[in-house]
């Protein structure tokens, strides 16, 4: 019986199947050059009508370390959504993907190529943190820390112009901090748009309590 | 009596423990960039560093004759060693090693502009050096009288002092971004027969050790320069090149933070239970 319970608790910690599918797709897109060239954010191609790249570009990564870091963050975000029964994960990811790519297209006119899941991952983590603030107990403290850390880190990166803990190896791309800002901004919009209240008997909060 | 006089004369002329000879070779980045006959001094502008940058590495031409000890192959090896240090930085796109033939004496910035056009580089690390070798005769040189001693007893004491200097310039603005020195001191002994061979070897070892020291100093100077760029944005413009690749990347700090949060959450939950 205890073994069954343990298995259940481990299973609950795993990211949802959808997240694992996205990570598998990302792995394939990142390391199969033919797929990467079709999926990557290519400014000229997007402007010539290949609009799918606005969504698929987030699946493409430029190195194994790049993929691992992003996959970890995205996997953790997915696992939280699953464990806490937070809804709108898919719609959030889709909206964040389109907003990040679309705004980068406008804001970064010199950037020819873009790829990476981190904008969506950061946004999803921030969305979780905002939702968690409405709960009580240890989870609320964890979410408060996250809600303070993420904007602080992004602000520091903007001020210094470099990641706080850069990659150890040679990097073939320039980190785009704006994607994290847009991700968090979409999270705030999503949070406000869903009109979640502390006192309300919203199913999300009821299900999400420890 | 005659033999003693002769010995004394030899001691006096060749010198026991006295300086026998010295050699000096050098090249100077200042003399290359600002030659004496040139009255016009370039005024540096504000560097506009378009990231990721292309870096060139070159030895400036020698001013005190040609150093026979440092061949083009040795220079290439030393430049490769220095370039390895630059390669690991994400803001460096590529490194070009520029052969000495592409730089001429007193070439100044006009020469650098040509290299910029040929290689497409933005920034150049100009390597210059100063090497002095002293040879003294030690007490053991007395054995040279036996003739065989001159072949087997290392009575020549050599000192090789080397300094290699790297000055990194932004070619377009003519501004020196930072510089770093590397020094070495090699001591050795030789017989008169293999003296020149030993000096050549010492010279190369001197350059190699000075280059290692240079690489260490370059790293610290590069860190200082990065801080300077952040603290003095009015003095340096940092932009991204057109057509660059951007990446949405979670950095190590976020991963560490997520790890910390997981641990903290588990601890709080267990404490509560």
Which DSSP symbol is given to B91? T
The whole-angstrom distance between A36's CA and the closest CA on chain B is: 13
Per-residue model confidence as pLDDT tens digits over B155-173: 788 889 999 999 999 888 8
pLDDT at A198: 43
pLDDT at B94 over 90: no
Query: Which residues, 6+ apart, have CB-to-CB distance to A63 below 8 Å?
Result: A169, A171, A172
ipTM of the complex: 0.74
The whole-angstrom distance between A81's CA and the closest CA on chain B is: 14
Distance CA A138, CA B2 (A): 103
pLDDT at A200 over 90: no
Cβ–Cβ of A138/B255 closer than 8 Å? no
Its pTM surpasses 0.80: no
Cβ–Cβ of A122/B250 closer than 8 Å? yes
DSSP string, B226-238: HHHHHH-TTT-EE
Distance CA B172, CA A95 (A): 44
Of residues B73, B44, B76, the one with CA closest to residue B58: B76
H helix count then E strand count, chain A: 11, 3
B90/A contact by beta carbon, under 8 A? yes
In chain B, residues 240-269 whose CB comes closer than 8 Å to chain A: 240-258, 261-262, 264-265, 268-269
pLDDT at A25: 93
Cβ–Cβ of B268/A142 closer than 8 Å? yes
pLDDT at A205: 45
Q: What is the mean pLDDT of residues A114-127?
A: 92
Average pLDDT, chain A: 82
Question: What number does CATH give the domain A13-208?
Answer: 1.20.1540.10
Backbone angles phi, psi at B56, to 5 degrees: -110, 150
Average pLDDT, chain B: 79
Which among A120, A163, A174 has CB closest to B240?
A174
Distance CA A146, CA A150 (A): 6
Cβ contact B258:A77 at 8 Å: no
Cβ–Cβ of A66/B249 closer than 8 Å? yes
The whole-angstrom distance between A164's CA and the closest CA on chain B is: 6
pLDDT at A206: 41
Backbone angles phi, psi at A60, to 5 degrees: -90, 135
Cβ contact A112:B244 at 8 Å: yes
pLDDT at B189: 84
pLDDT at B38: 57
B231/A contact by beta carbon, under 8 A? no
**3-state per-residue secondary structure call for A44-79:** HHHHCCCCCHHHHHHHCCCCHHHHHHHHHHHHHHHH
In chain A, residues 36-95 whose CB comes closer than 8 Å to chain B: 58, 61-62, 66, 69-70, 72-73, 76
Distance CA B197, CA B214 (A): 26
Percent of chain A with pLDDT over 90: 35
Cβ–Cβ of A142/B261 closer than 8 Å? yes
The whole-angstrom distance between A102's CA and the closest CA on chain B is: 14
The whole-angstrom distance between A185's CA and the closest CA on chain B is: 15
Of residues A148, A10, A119, A131, the one with CA closest to residue A81: A131
Percent of chain A with pLDDT over 70: 80
Cα Rg of chain A, angstroms: 18
Cβ–Cβ of B247/A61 closer than 8 Å? yes
- Where residue A160 falls among pLDDT bands split at 50, 70, 90? low
pLDDT at A27: 92
Per-residue model confidence as pLDDT tens digits over A69-86: 899 999 989 988 888 888
Distance CA A76, CA A124 (A): 10
Spell out which residues of chain A touch residue B265, defining contact as CB-CB under 8 Å. Answer: 138-139, 142
Cβ–Cβ of B272/A118 closer than 8 Å? no
Cβ contact A81:A12 at 8 Å: no
Q: What is the mean pLDDT of residues A96-107?
A: 92
Per-residue model confidence as pLDDT tens digits over B46-83: 777 777 788 899 998 887 555 566 788 888 888 888 88
pLDDT at B5 over 70: no
Domain limits, chain A: 13-208
């Amino acid at each position: 019986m205890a073994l069954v319970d343990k298995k259940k608790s481990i299973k609950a910690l795993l990211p949802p199947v959808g997240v694992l599918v996205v990570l598998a797709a990302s792995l394939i897109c990142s390391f199969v050059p033919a797929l990467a060239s079709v999926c990557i954010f290519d400014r000229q191609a997007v402007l010539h009508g290949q609009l799918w790249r606005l969504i698929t570009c987030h699946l493409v990564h430029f190195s194994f370390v790049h993929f691992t870091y992003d996959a970890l963050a995205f996997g953790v975000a997915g696992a939280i959504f699953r464990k806490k029964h937070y809804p709108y994960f898919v719609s959030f990811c889709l909206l964040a993907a389109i907003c990040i790519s679309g705004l980068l297209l406008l804001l970064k006119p010199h950037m020819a190529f873009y790829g990476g899941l981190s904008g969506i991952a950061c946004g999803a983590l921030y969305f979780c943190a905002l939702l968690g603030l409405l709960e009580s107990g240890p989870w609320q403290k964890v979410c408060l820390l996250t809600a303070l850390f993420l904007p602080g880190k992004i602000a520091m990166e903007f001020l210094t112009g470099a990641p706080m803990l850069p990659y150890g190896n040679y990097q073939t791309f320039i980190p785009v901090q704006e994607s994290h800002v847009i991700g968090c901004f979409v999270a705030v919009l999503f949070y406000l748009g869903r009109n979640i209240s502390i006192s309300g008997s919203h199913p999300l909060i009821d299900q999400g309590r420890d | 009596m005659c033999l003693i006089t002769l010995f004394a004369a030899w001691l006096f002329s060749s010198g026991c423990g006295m300086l026998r000879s010295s050699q000096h070779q050098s090249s100077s980045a200042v003399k290359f960039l600002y030659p004496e006959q040139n009255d016009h001094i370039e005024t540096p502008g504000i560097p506009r560093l378009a990231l990721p940058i292309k870096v060139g590495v070159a030895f400036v031409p020698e001013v005190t004759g040609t150093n026979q000890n440092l061949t083009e192959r040795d220079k290439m090896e030393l430049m490769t060693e220095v370039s390895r240090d630059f390669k690991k930085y994400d803001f460096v796109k590529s490194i070009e090693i520029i052969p000495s033939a592409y730089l001429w004496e007193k070439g100044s910035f006009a020469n650098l502009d040509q290299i910029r056009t040929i290689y497409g580089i933005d920034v150049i690390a100009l390597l210059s050096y100063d090497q002095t070798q002293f040879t003294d005769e030690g007490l053991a040189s007395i054995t040279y009288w036996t003739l065989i001693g001159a072949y087997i007893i290392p009575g020549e004491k050599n000192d090789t002092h080397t300094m290699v200097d790297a000055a990194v310039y932004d070619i377009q603005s003519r501004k020196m971004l930072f510089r770093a020195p590397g020094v070495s001191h090699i001591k050795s002994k030789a017989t008169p027969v293999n003296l020149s061979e030993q000096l050549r070897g010492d010279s190369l070892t001197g350059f190699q050790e000075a280059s290692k020291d240079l690489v260490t100093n370059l790293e610290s100077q590069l860190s200082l320069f990065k801080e300077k760029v952040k603290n003095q944005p009015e003095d340096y413009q940092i932009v991204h090149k057109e057509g660059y690749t951007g990446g949405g990347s979670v950095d190590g700090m976020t991963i560490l933070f997520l790890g910390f949060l997981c641990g903290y959450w588990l601890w709080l939950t267990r404490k509560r239970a």
